[in-house]
Amino acid sequence: MIFPVEYGGAGMGYVEYATAIEELSRIDGSVGLIMAAHTSLCSNHIFIAGSEDQRRKFIPRLARGEFIGAWALTEPDSGSDAGSTRMTAVRKGNSWVLNGTKVFCTNGHYADVLVVIELTDKAAHTHGLSAFVVEKDTSGFRLGKKENKLGLRASDTAELIFEDCVIPEGNLLGKEGNGFIDAMRVLDGGRISIAALGLGMAQGAFECALKYSKQRKQFGKAIAEFQGIQWKLADMAVEIDAGRLLTLRAAAMKDTGKKTTRESSMAKLYTSEVAVRCANEAVQIHGGYGFIKDYPAEKFYRDVKLCTIGEGTSEIQRLVIARGLITE
């Protein structure tokens, strides 16, 4: 959706993109997450950091959905502290040799193209990280464990193993040493998509709770007639609308080319936590029926938790927001 028509995209912006992810996630967050990792992480990293040749080679096929994309930053010992990446890329003649393991990579088992962030200069710390494009059948690259998750179970989460994996020199994405900086730019957009993912699931949970509260009768009337239930529904509706405004503000700013680090983090932090609260209340409004799999409330309850963790935990979003406030 977010890539120009001349690269095979739909020529739309983040407002439309966030709206689409919200609508998909209202029914199934896994679909929203698959689209988010493919579009605003993998494809967008190639689009914003790649050379014209790399853009022409990958973006049209990614935009048409002929290729599935994945983006690998997280490692077993490097999550929130992404600068501590250990996986290495060493230059050898006209090639790079990759060694190490990435974890929690969304779409990993199904990806045709992966963007992988690696250490190219240990002494330079975060300025020693670089991004590379790896295609799926490259020798020395194999897929590891498929994670067995609490929720979003229709979205693949993969371990990726690189053992003397040789890729051409030209697969370096952007400037050597710019991988961390580019990854942070990518996350400014990515966090809008996770905000939309949380928003969609919050909306879905709210809608199923509202519907159920009008159908379920106790003490001779629909439970929606009890003030205790009405207050829950009102709070959910207000928080969802506030989250939508934060998300659309970040998306609209991004569409006008503004830096959105703080606004993206605010939207992501708030909607993730709203999603968790709304899914919790949706189960509560369903009573015992919220605890069984016959109703969607139970699935929303499990699925929403990813939003406070993926693309930076709630704690990390607070650090990003506070850093912006303090340094301004």
Ligand X SMILES: Cc1cc2nc3c(=O)[nH]c(=O)nc-3n(C[C@H](O)[C@H](O)[C@H](O)COP(=O)(O)OP(=O)(O)OC[C@H]3O[C@@H](n4cnc5c(N)ncnc54)[C@H](O)[C@@H]3O)c2cc1C
Q: Which residues bind ligand X (CB under 6 A)?
A: 37, 71-74, 79-80, 104-106, 149, 152, 157, 306, 309-313, 315-316
Question: 93-112 in b/e burial notation, b at 16+ Cβ within 10 A?
Answer: eebbbbbbbbbbbbbbbebb
Cβ neighbour number for residue 155 with a 10 Å cutoff: 22
What the block records as the tokens of 51 is 């050379």
Give 40 or 54: the residue with its C-beta nearer to ligand X. 40
Nearest 10 degrees: Cα torsion 170, 171, 174, 180: -150
Amino acid identity, position 166: V
Give 152 or 229: the residue with its C-beta nearer to ligand X. 152
Minimum gap (Å) between residue 315 Cβ and ligand X? 3
Minimum gap (Å) between residue 39 Cβ and ligand X? 12
Minimum gap (Å) between residue 102 Cβ and ligand X? 7
Q: How far is CA 6 from CA 59, 63, 185, in A?
A: 10, 11, 23
Minimum gap (Å) between residue 15 Cβ and ligand X? 23
Cβ neighbour number for residue 252 with a 10 Å cutoff: 16
Task: State the burial class of residue 64 (Cβ atoms within 10 Å of its Cβ: 0-12, 13-18, 19+).
Answer: exposed
Q: How far apart are CA 195 and CA 201, in angstroms?
A: 10
Give 63 or 183: the residue with its C-beta nearer to ligand X. 183
Catalytic residue status for 23:
no
Give 183 or 285: the residue with its C-beta nearer to ligand X. 183
Give 157 or 203: the residue with its C-beta nearer to ligand X. 157
Give 143 or 309: the residue with its C-beta nearer to ligand X. 309
Catalytic residue among 135, 176, 311, 315: 311
Minimum gap (Å) between residue 210 Cβ and ligand X? 28
* Cβ-proximal residue to ligand X, closest one: 79
Minimum gap (Å) between residue 127 Cβ and ligand X? 19
What the block records as the tokens of 233 is 């529904």
Q: Catalytic positions, please? A: 311
